[in-house]
Amino acid sequence: MAWQIPLTELTIGEDDVAAVVQCLEEGWLTMGPRVDEFEQGVAAFCGTPHGAAVNCGTAALHLACRALGLGPGDEVIVPALTFVASVNAPRYVGATPVLCDTASPTDMNLSVESVEPQITDRTRAVIAVHFCGYPADVVGLRELCDSRGIMLIEDAAQGIGAVVSEDGRKAGSVGQAGCLSFFSKKQLFVGEGGMVLTSDEEIDKKVRLLRSHGMSASTWDRHRGYGYSYDVVDVGYNFRLDEPRAALGLSRLGKLQTGIEARRRTVKLYRELLADVPGVELTWSDEQVERSSHFAFPILLDDAEACDAVRTGLADRGIQTTRYPVIHGFSEYRRLAPMGSLPFSETAAARHCALPLSASTIETEVEQVVEAVKSVASTLAGARP
Amino acid sequence: MPATGTFPEIPLFDLRLAPEDIEAGAETLRSGWLTLGPRTQAFEEAFAAQLGARHAVAVSSCTAALHLAYLAAGVGPGDEVIVPSFTMAATASAVLYCGGTPVFADILGRHDLSIDPAKVEARIGPKTKAVCVVHFAGYPGKIAELRDLCDRHGLALIEDVAHAPSATVDGRKLGTWGMAGAFSFFSNKILSSGEGGLLATDDDAVAELARSLRSQAMTSGTWSRHTGATSTYDVVGLGFNYRIDEMHSALLLSRLARLEADIERRRELTRTYRRELGRIDGLIVPYRDEEVEYSSCYVFPVLVEDKDRWEHVRDFLRNERGIQTSLFYPAVHRFSAYVERRGEQSLPHTELASETELTIPMFPHMTAEQQERVVTAFEEALA
């Protein structure tokens, strides 16, 4: 079916197309000068000295776990409400994910208060997710982690450009490592791609080594005559980003901040129009809206049933929505926590519904979506005693 | 010269995309749909049809395809997989990703650089779960013998077909002989798109597992939610993000149409090289003339008879004649990361090959004059 208003829409300009076409015409496709430039550009945008491009956000999290030396026996605290990759990453290195509740049903991020009781002798790291683009309190979490001698990884897959501190620091720049995703629905997209941000040169070196098979010289280096052979000094992977995607990313990077601002305007309009709708609860605060980079716009409905009704009602009107299931609701992760043990995450997961949001969303679309939500919500209210 | 970082006059490979390939990539960008979708499906169907396999699952790299193939073979902690050491490290490291142990078997020798079935058989033990054959440089490994050996011992045969798309044995394409075949679309490959890979199989269960694990073991993908087929999903295993994207699939689909012609051109270049280089004393040209038509002729490997002269030949070509060469491959069992895990091992044929091999320039638009320069450089270097 063709959605009248899809969840996200990518608008790729002719200048973006031209940047990729030029790269394809030149014919050098594996990691080279464009990847270098893209890394420098993104790292500068996020305010970190280093950024190592990889082929997806999952790979970024995996390599962050490897570079921080996590392994078997280590516990890693992760939110119960996130995309599944945040929970898979510790397992790739043999560590154990421990699910943690979110701050509240309307603040769907980890907080100092939610994390602290989960820390045990075996805890080595916390993965804080900037869910839907809203900044988690990573400054507070970093202080907590430092005081307990553990590490902080920021999963900024949804949060590129979110402001995490009073002094304007960006998501991904506070933890020992920050992980970005450039998946096709993200604020900065290349199709599939990711990056590990860090201020620690050793972490950066390790990520660069492991993303290309632990090899001591790259194809590009050898093409230019640096080194004839190579050693494999660690067990690495093929997590390379290639040049066409870096070309697209570079071209899009110049439009990232404008795109985030456009998303914020859309979110503010949604919030204004939905503020007093019975049965609809807004998430996060106005202040956090100012700091968010707005990957998605979730609202809370009264309960799971209302949530389903709204999603169905909107789908009938050609409006696509989505929701994130809670991690321990998945077959693979039921064993991590019993249902009922992480109430805020479970409530948020059951009751939220993310409405269409893109950099190109226009006012009339927002109005159309809001009308649809209102219409379903009022029918629900009427059906109740 | 290495310190100056200059580009070679005759590079090892020189990828040139056709205008229609580039247009296919541009069209995909304009469509605004970049993640797994209709273009990937079309590429997979076309690739499977051309290969003669039931299933083709496109992924982010050949390494990813190997990882999924080993997982599908049931490789886990405590299991062993017999692999060549004369290969790119991924053949072995993908075994480690599964928690298994790569056990290295030697190659046949400097005239045939593929894994020796007798050496494979000698390494089979109670923990062996699978065998991986690499069809080196595009030339078929001893696939029939290995298939028979694996069948007799109840082992999964995995084909690392990174070098050998469209190569055949008895009219049957490589990558369809084992339980699964892993292909590469890395930028220096015959069918290239930058990064990319593919798992081919006739086994429905293997294909299903690969499709599931390439996208986080989610029961539905972004495309099926976009098309309204599904609205939510479950996660039913420990998956990965091994997805290829639509732009790469579009490039590959466009280029697939010219794969056979590209290989035919490589065969011509290969025959010329064989004729000219075969006359030079001190140089071993592996494989036989009759094998060329069954090979995909991905690269042209030669071996310097006397290992003490290898460095001189390599330096002369690069520094005096501007000809780029590469070593395919340093022996995996001698890499620090593997010595740490497995200790020192002896694989004499692999070691000698890895100390004397030179892969020389070959690409479809290579001119007769360029080939002649390469040949002359060898004559001079070994005079």
* pLDDT (average), residues B257-280: 98
Dihedral of alpha carbons A71, A183, B250, A33, sign? negative
Question: What local confidence, expressed as pLDDT, does residue B3 receive?
Answer: 37
Question: What local confidence, expressed as pLDDT, does residue A228 receive?
Answer: 62
Residue B220 makes CB contacts below 8 A (sequence gap 6+) with B229, B230, B232, B233
Joined tokens for residue A92: 């790739």
What is the full per-residue pLDDT of chain A (385 aa) written as tens digits? 689 999 999 999 999 999 999 999 999 999 999 999 999 999 999 999 999 999 999 999 999 999 999 999 999 999 999 999 999 999 999 999 999 999 999 999 999 999 999 999 999 999 999 999 999 999 999 999 999 999 999 999 999 999 999 999 999 999 999 999 999 999 999 999 999 999 999 999 999 999 999 998 766 666 655 556 789 999 999 999 999 999 999 999 999 999 999 999 999 999 999 999 999 999 999 999 999 999 999 999 999 999 999 999 999 999 999 999 999 999 999 999 999 999 999 999 999 999 999 999 999 999 999 999 999 998 887 776 5
Which residues of chain A have a CB within 8 Å of the CB of B30? 12, 17
* Confidence tier at B1 by pLDDT (50, 70, 90): very low
Question: What local confidence, expressed as pLDDT, does residue A347 receive?
Answer: 97
Question: What local confidence, expressed as pLDDT, does residue B2 receive?
Answer: 38
C-alpha A226/C-alpha A215 separation (Å) is 13
* pLDDT (average), residues B327-347: 92
B238 and A12 in contact by Cβ < 8 A?
no
Distances from the Cα of A184 to the Cα of A138, A250, B245, angstroms: 26, 15, 9
**Cβ burial, residue B17 (10 Å; 0-12/13-18/19+):** buried
Which range is least confidently modeled, A343-347, B151-155, B228-232, B312-316? Answer: B228-232
Taking CB atoms and an 8 Å cut-off, how many pairs form between chains A and B? 203
**DSSP characters over B273-339:** HHHHHTTSTTEE--S-GGGGGGS----EEEEESSGGGHHHHHHIIIIIH-B--B-S---GGGSHHHH
C-alpha A170/C-alpha A190 separation (Å) is 21
Of A12, A213, A243, the CB nearest to B30: A12
Of A20, A28, A232, the CB nearest to B336: A232
Question: What local confidence, expressed as pLDDT, does residue B4 receive?
Answer: 43
Which residues of chain A have a CB within 8 Å of the CB of B16? 27
CB-based contact (8 Å) between B240 and chain A? yes
Residue A340 makes CB contacts below 8 A (sequence gap 6+) with A346
Question: What local confidence, expressed as pLDDT, does residue A225 receive?
Answer: 59
Which strands make up the sheet holding B55-59, listed edge to edge? B55-59, B197-201, B180-184, B156-160, B128-134, B80-84, B101-105
C-alpha B242/C-alpha B215 separation (Å) is 6
Length of chain A: 385
Q: What is the SS3 string spanning chain A?
A: CCCCECCCCCCCCHHHHHHHHHHHHHCCCCCCHHHHHHHHHHHHHHCCCEEEEECCHHHHHHHHHHHCCCCCCCEEEEECCCCCHHHHHHHHCCCEEEEECCCCCCCCCCCHHHHHHHCCCCEEEEEEECHHHCCCCHHHHHHHHHHHCCEEEEECCCCCCCECCCCCCECCCCCCEEEEECECCCCCCCECCEEEEECCHHHHHHHHHHCECCECCCHHHHHCCCCCCCCECCCCCECCCCHHHHHHHHHHHCCHHHHHHHHHHHHHHHHHHHCCCCCEEECCCHHHHHHCCCCCEEEEECCHHHHHHHHHHHHHCCECCECCCCHHHCHHHHHHCCCCCCHHHHHHHHHEEEECCCCCCCHHHHHHHHHHHHHHHHHHHHHCC
CA distance B27 to chain A (A): 9
What angle (nearest 5°) sits at the alpha carbon of residue B115, between those of residues B167 and B150? 85
A191 and B222 in contact by Cβ < 8 A?
no
Say what angle helices A343-351 and A304-316 make with each other, to 10 degrees: 30
C-alpha B81/C-alpha B104 separation (Å) is 8
Which residue bears the tokens 């499906």? B41
Length of chain B: 383
Question: What local confidence, expressed as pLDDT, does residue B5 receive?
Answer: 52
**Cβ burial, residue B367 (10 Å; 0-12/13-18/19+):** exposed
The pLDDT tens digits of the residues spanning B71-116 come to: 999 999 999 999 999 999 999 999 999 999 999 999 999 999 999 9
Which residues of chain A have a CB within 8 Å of the CB of B34? 10, 184, 189-192
CB B143 within 8 A of CB B136: no
Distances from the Cα of B143 to the Cα of A112, B34, B134, angstroms: 58, 37, 10
**Cβ burial, residue B368 (10 Å; 0-12/13-18/19+):** exposed
Nearest by Cα to A139 from A167, A158, A161, A116: A167
Which residue bears the tokens 């997209």? A189
B14 and A27 in contact by Cβ < 8 A?
yes
Q: What value of ipTM does the predicted structure carry?
A: 0.95
Does domain A14-253 bear CATH number 3.40.640.10?
yes
The number of beta carbons lying within 10 Å of the beta carbon of residue B5 is 11
CB-based contact (8 Å) between B351 and chain A? no
Residue A308 makes CB contacts below 8 A (sequence gap 6+) with none
C-alpha A220/C-alpha A222 separation (Å) is 5
CB B359 within 8 A of CB B163: no
Q: Tell me the CATH number of domain A256-383, given options 1.10.540.10, 3.90.1150.10, 1.10.3720.10, 3.90.170.10.
A: 3.90.1150.10
Average of per-residue pLDDT values in chain B: 95
- Domain positions in chain A: 14-253, 256-383
Characterize B113-146 residue by residue with b for buried, 16 or more Cβ atoms within 10 angstroms of its Cβ, and e for exposed. Answer: bbbbbebbbeebeeebbbbbbbbbbbbbbbbeeb
The pLDDT tens digits of the residues spanning B62-79 come to: 999 999 999 999 999 999
For B311, nearest residue in chain A (alpha carbons): A228
CB A25 within 8 A of CB A199: no
B194 and A244 in contact by Cβ < 8 A?
yes
CB-based contact (8 Å) between B64 and chain A? yes
C-alpha A104/C-alpha A98 separation (Å) is 18
CA distance B133 to chain A (A): 20
CA distance B39 to chain A (A): 13
Which residue bears the tokens 């009248």? A4
* pLDDT (average), residues B351-357: 97
Coil, strand, or helix at residue B360? strand
Joined tokens for residue B162: 């990174």
* pLDDT (average), residues B23-27: 98
Q: Which site among B9, B16, B29 would you substitute to test the A interface, given the most A Cβ atoms closer than 10 Å to its Cβ?
A: B29
Question: Which residues pair with residue A195 across a beta bridge?
Answer: A53, A180
CB-based contact (8 Å) between A367 and chain B? no
CB A374 within 8 A of CB A11: no
For A14, nearest residue in chain B (alpha carbons): B30
For B257, half-sphere exposure in the C-beta direction (CA atoms, 13 angstrom radius) is: 11
pTM of the model: 0.96
C-alpha B84/C-alpha B176 separation (Å) is 19
